Amino acid sequence: MDKWLWMSAGDLGRGIAAGDIDPVALTETYLSAIDAHPDRDRIYSTVTHDRARAEAKAAADRAKLGLRRSALDGVPISWKDLFDSAGVATEAGTALLKGRVPDTDARVLATSTNMGTVCLGKTHMSELAFSGIGLNPVTATPPNVNDPKGVPGGSSSGAAASVAFGLAAAGIGSDTGGSVRLPSGWNDLVGLKTTSGRLSLDGVVPLAVKFDTVGPLCRTVEDCALSLAAMEGTKPADLPGATLEGVRFASLMSLAHDDIRDAPRDGFNSARERLQRGGAIVDPIDAPEPAEANTLSGMLLTAEAYGTWKDEIEAQPDVMFSEILNRFRVGKTFTAADYVAGWQRLEVLRRQWAERTAPYDAVILPTSPILPPDAERMMSDHDYYVAENLLALRNTRIGNTLGLCALTLPTGVPSCGIMIMCPPGQEERLLRLGKAAEKALS
């Protein structure tokens, strides 16, 4: 049964539907693997044994009666520790929220549970989700599947590790500047950043609500589609028959390839060539909008984040990781006038980007221009931490600032992903392109 730990969520669901996999046995397999894993407490902040077993039993009963609620009914998944879960600590990786126990589930967790998914527990994350690195000396820093010395990527660091180490069939995280895609890319997973507003943030501990999004970290594109549907309570995107024939990709060159290191560059170039062999047309483009939009996000996101958390932060600044505290406090240096003007300019840039990329089906670029930095050095070298954190998130942040949906796929080079970006609200189109790309890349 250990093979179940490495199967896709979709395949597990099909096994349950066929009567070949018992949801109770499946859940016990995952719980046993979690409890026996040497990095259990670095990956999971809480393992919800009783809840998982009860949900698995209910899924098994439905399966016997032919009443399964979704393709993932009975499939065990993990949840980042910023999704409220009734009666279970939800502390968002920070001592500021130590002992916080909500009374109800976040809406996406409640909907997913109603669709039959089994909650294994809550996973560690960057403090208040304000880092793409995944380094958290306050609670725990999860491992990276490719580099024992490297950071895992954040802020959905534990979500990525739970899937990459075979301790969940899928992980649910959040993405404000790249926090689903970066840990997915660095742990060779598929990660979906949804459009802002697509999935409910009710019961999700915020960082910057205007940029916050919910998204899955998975083994396959299909799993991302199934997870999205489970959180929405809808049918998944139609993926069979997806093809790259005649697809036009714009390959963003400006900004996205600046200061890129050898492995990410080689991984992207190899992936691009395979997409072309699969039938896609790839045109390099330069565009000024991403660079200006990213510059604005340094103000807009940080100001909103500090405005959201300033009272809690300034009441107990000493309990925070100093690097995260410093990032938050940058937000108080901006004026209200700067903030309003910044948002007005960003809306103009979003319209210009939409017009520039309208002739293409999607835009592709490296998920990150760097590999996972060294965790120990990041704890002792402030300049290294700041520089690597900003560079790590630079490419993913384009999707957030321009209001897009985006998907990262493994390239075959460890910890190097390729990202596909589509206009807002086009997740179904994005997932079909991703499915076709996945086939070409494999």
pLDDT in tens for each of the 442 residues of the chain?
Answer: 799 999 999 999 999 999 999 999 999 999 999 999 999 999 999 999 999 999 999 999 999 999 999 999 999 999 999 999 999 999 999 999 999 999 999 999 999 999 999 999 999 999 999 999 999 999 999 999 999 999 999 999 999 999 999 999 999 999 999 999 999 999 999 999 999 999 999 999 999 999 999 999 999 999 999 999 999 999 999 999 999 999 999 999 999 999 999 999 999 999 999 999 999 999 999 999 999 999 999 999 999 999 999 999 999 999 999 999 999 999 999 999 999 999 999 999 999 999 999 999 999 999 999 999 999 999 999 999 999 999 999 999 999 999 999 999 999 999 999 999 999 999 999 999 999 999 999 9
Where do we find the tokens 């405005």?
307
CATH of domain 2-232: 3.90.1300.10
Tokens of 214: 């919910």
Question: Where are the CATH 3.90.1300.10 domain residues in the chain?
Answer: 2-232, 248-291+332-441
Phi/psi of residue 253, each to 5°?
Answer: -100, -45
Q: What is the pTM of this model?
A: 0.98
Any residues with CB less than 8 A from the CB of 295 and at least 6 apart, and which?
none
Residue from 70, 85, 126, 179 carrying the catalytic annotation: 179
| 156 classed as catalytic | no
Tell me the pairing of strands 190-193 and 214-218: antiparallel
Q: Are 304 and 331 in contact (CB under 8 A)?
A: yes
Note the pLDDT of residue 327. 96
Quick count: other Cβ atoms within 10 Å of Cβ 322? 12
DSSP one-letter code for 192: E
| 368 classed as catalytic | no
Q: Are 306 and 328 in contact (CB under 8 A)?
A: yes
Note the pLDDT of residue 1. 73
| 57 classed as catalytic | no
Nearest to 100 by CA among 205, 12, 237: 205
**Cα–Cα distance list, 40 to 46, 143, 251, 377 (Å):** 10, 10, 39, 24
Note the pLDDT of residue 265. 98
Note the pLDDT of residue 366. 98
Q: Does an H or E element contain 186, and which? A: helix 181-186
Q: Does an H or E element contain 345, and which? A: helix 336-357
Residue from 45, 70, 126, 155 carrying the catalytic annotation: 155
Note the pLDDT of residue 211. 98
DSSP one-letter code for 333: G
Report, at the CATH architecture level, how domain 248-291+332-441 is classified.
Alpha-Beta Complex (3.90)
Residue from 8, 70, 78, 80 carrying the catalytic annotation: 80
Start-to-end C-alpha separation, the chain: 26
